[in-house]
Structure 1
Amino acid sequence: MAIKHLRTLFASQLQPGQPAQVRPGEALSEPGGDYEGLHKQMKRLFNSKPGKKYGRFSEDVGESPFSAWLKDYLEDRQSFVSLTDRIFGQWQELLNGSQEEHQGHLMLVHEALADGEVMYLLVIESDSALRFDGQQSLDTTDVLSLSRLNLAVRIELEDWQNDNPGENYLTLVHARGSGEPGELFIRLCGFTNQVDVEKETLTFMDAVEAFARSSEPEEAGKIRARAYEFSRDQHALGEPVAIEALSGYLDEDQPQRFKEFASETAELPESGVLHPDHRKVKKLVRIAGSGGGMSVSFSSDLVNQAVYYDRDNDALTITKLPKALREQLQRYLESRDD
């Protein structure tokens, strides 16, 4: 990882109706050291964040000029300082009209990777912490939150600059509860949602399940497990699922088998890439449910082996109980007998 340029802005809007207070930092080139460490942690939070959205820049440049400014910077028509001055200025204008309080650091990072360049725009929040001052009296101070990331966007620069850019070169983190500042952040980066994650999750799961059922019974469980593993690993990397890569992962001897099967049985996007929600994909390997004072979860491989479902009587029979569960049941029954 190598940061080419980085700049931060502290913005505070604690009195709605009044101008937001801002303090821009210096533009840094190849800052290294602690900045690399901070950005690495923010990326880790970004990649692990569930419920990310995928899309592209809005075509309404008048409403959201971020993409136009970014293009000028990448084509050397303005400096990184000029780019950030404009972005920071618009962020202040947006916060001026906010009716909700906001405080945080806006950080823009231009990063060069082995496989391309990306741009991150993140809102870094703060936590309160206690410390002893010079007179050994307790005092409160603000420190950067290294465990929370609620607003951020990543731009795949090369995907965006292609002659025929795809529909999902933007990845957005927009956490619930971010309120009006969250909506203002979306306006700032000009994000337009183009990917239906719920639909693509169903497409992914239906294709894998159909492929598993078409395979030999002893292979079906392995296929589901490997599909979930691949989806989980891609999520950890912050990357979508490429059908061709998944196909090779599911069957190394016949790497095109799943791809050909899915092409015939599912409506795959032209890009050959899906963005499944890894939390829901877990249903491929685990069956779970709760309600009425009961919570049950088990591996799907145990169906008709250690777990039997009677549809007619709506009854579940579990054999080969886990040792800890069996011991708890025995102690409970003994205590009742006493």
Structure 2
Amino acid sequence: MALHYFRILYASQGGPEQPVTTKAGPTLREPGGDYEGMHKQLKRVFNAKPGKRYGRFSTDLGDAPVQAWLKDYLEEKQSFESLTDKLLAQWGELLGTVDLDYQGAIAIAHEQLAEGQVLYIWGLETDASLFLDNRLSLDQGETLSLSRLNLAARIEVDDWLAAEPAQNYITLVQARGTGDLGERFAQLAGFESSVDVDKETQTFLDAVEAFAREGDAGKAQAVRTRAYEFCKDQGAAGEPVPLEALSGYLDEENPERFTEFVSQAQSLPAQTVLHPDQRKVRKLVRISGTGNGLSVSFSSDLMNQAVYYDRNQGQLTITKVPKALREQLDRYLERGQEDNT
């Protein structure tokens, strides 16, 4: 089993100036079954989640005691139960520093794979649901959601403990709107940012765009599309984008052409690894914009084929209107005619 240890921890705070109460579930060794299935599903959601942050443990041990606790656990100086007890106590203390009306569970998972060890901290989400009680009357309850993930952390243990530690062995999901809770969760994971995702995204887009324009104009969009596909596949697997691997994907006959180009044009070493934001990388294949009550989005392949832009007049002309949109427009015009009769 890939899942070596698993434990669910619960914390609740009734509101401002209310004490935080905590509770720990049983420590499960190689639980398998539903736990393994839930863990795998959460990993899929995690990998596909856009806007992830990348970093390492804070250099201030007082801000990141998890690294000392985790090291003691890996060296068998303490048990997984002891490690998670300490994490739960710290989680309670962190929640107590802010005024929140919060109740929820986190799960700690130690995964052992052939390629290395990983520690996950899952912020579990729940959905309200209806069910029948033993008298066949409706009652309300909470069920775990395996499709939503607003808080999560992945610690690549082997990268952290390597002779030359990686600069970004922690990946953090901290969704918008999590606010103080999200900040406290990052503190629980001992997270310190080491990657400027916005900057690396722009570097990726600039490199691909410059390379696409360097070659045959007729093949430029194909280059953008393949770059997007590669980036999307890497994101689905929870992996960054190595320029060497991207170069081989863009041109199988001359796999070094892209890295040689960006090395000369943008001074990017062939060994560069980037962490582009999946949402922004879509700009390679889609053109979109919103404003003044209008929202437009279309594949960039359609430019000058089904969509034409007059830069001087600031006008956009669509010659092949989608069927569903055309039907909506027809119905709207028909209603307008009826209103005027």
TM tier, smaller:
over 0.9
> Structure 1 residues 285-294 or 169-178, which shifts more?
285-294
In structure 2, do the counterparts of structure 1 residues 290 and 164 end up closer, same or farther at CA, with 3 Å as the change threshold? same
Listed as ranges, the matches of 1:272-287 within 5 Å are 272-287=272-287
**What is the CA-CA distance between 1:199 and the residue it aligns to?**
0.7
- CA RMSD between the two structures: 2.1
Partner of 1:288: 288
Distance 1:227 1:172, change over 3 A: same
Distance 1:69 1:183 in 2: 20
Give the letter aligned to residue 140 of structure 2: T
SS in 2 for 1:64: coil
Are the structure 2 counterparts of residues 330 and 123 from structure 1 closer, same or farther at C-alpha, using a change threshold of 3 Å? Answer: closer
Alignment of 1:206-225 (within 5 A): 206-225=206-225
Per the normalisation by structure 2, the TM-score is: 0.92
Where do 1:177-192 residues align within 5 Å?
177-192=177-192
- How far does residue 44 in structure 1 lie from its aligned partner after superposition? 1.8
Q: Distance in 2 between matches of 1:335 and 1:99?
A: 52
Amino acid at match of 2:77: R
In structure 2, the partner of 1:231 is 231
Change over 3 Å in CA distance of 1:74–1:320 after alignment to 2: same
Counterpart residue type for residue 180 of structure 2: E
CA distance in 2, matches of 1:326, 1:142: 42
**Is 328-337 or 115-124 further displaced after alignment?**
328-337
Tell whether the 8 Å contact from 1:152 to 1:172 is kept in structure 2 after alignment. yes
Distance 2:51 2:269 in 1: 20
For 2:323 and 2:130, the matched residues in 1 are separated by 45
* Deviation of 1:288 (Å): 1.4
Shift of 1:319: 3.0
- The DSSP-based 3-state class of the residue aligned with 1:135 is coil
- The residue correspondences of 1:88-127 to structure 2 (distance < 5 A) are 88-127=88-127
**In structure 1, what is the equivalent of residue 139 of structure 2?**
139
CA contact (8 A) 1:207 1:266 kept: yes
SS at match of 2:213: helix
1:313 equivalent to 2:313? Answer yes
Asked if structure 1 preserves the Cα contact closer than 8 Å seen for 2:70 and 2:83, the reply is yes
Query: Which consecutive residues of structure 1, in runs of 5 or more, have no partner in the other structure?
Result: none
- The alignment status of 1:87 with 2:87, answered yes or no, reads yes
* Greater Cα shift, 7-16 or 303-312: 303-312
How many residues of Structure 1 are paired with residues of Structure 2 in the alignment? 338
* Residue equivalent to 1:257: 257
Residue 90 to residue 217, structure 1, CA distance change in 2 (3 Å): same
Identity of aligned residues (%): 59
| Structure 1 residues 222 and 96: CA distance shift in structure 2, 3 A | same
Measure how far apart 1:293 and its partner are: 3.4
Gap runs ≥5 in structure 2: none
Give, in angstroms, the shift of residue 124 of structure 1: 0.8
Counterpart of 1:49, as a letter, is: K
TM-score by length of 1: 0.93
Measured against aligned partners, the alpha-carbon deviations of 1:4-45 in whole angstroms (never above 9, x if no partner) come to 111111111114323311111121111100100111121122
Determine the C-alpha separation between the residues in 1 that align with 2:18 and 2:293.
50
User: Which deviates more from structure 2 when the two are superposed, residues 127-136 or residues 278-287?
Assistant: 127-136
Question: Counterparts of 1:171 and 1:228 in 2: how far apart (Å)?
Answer: 21
Contact 2:55 2:171 in 1 (8 A): yes
How far apart, in 1, do the equivalents of 2:95 and 2:273 lie? 36
The amino acid of 2:211's aligned partner reads: F
Please say if residues 259 and 269 of structure 2, whose CA atoms lie closer than 8 Å, have aligned partners that are also in contact.
no
Asked if structure 2 preserves the Cα contact closer than 8 Å seen for 1:16 and 1:97, the reply is no
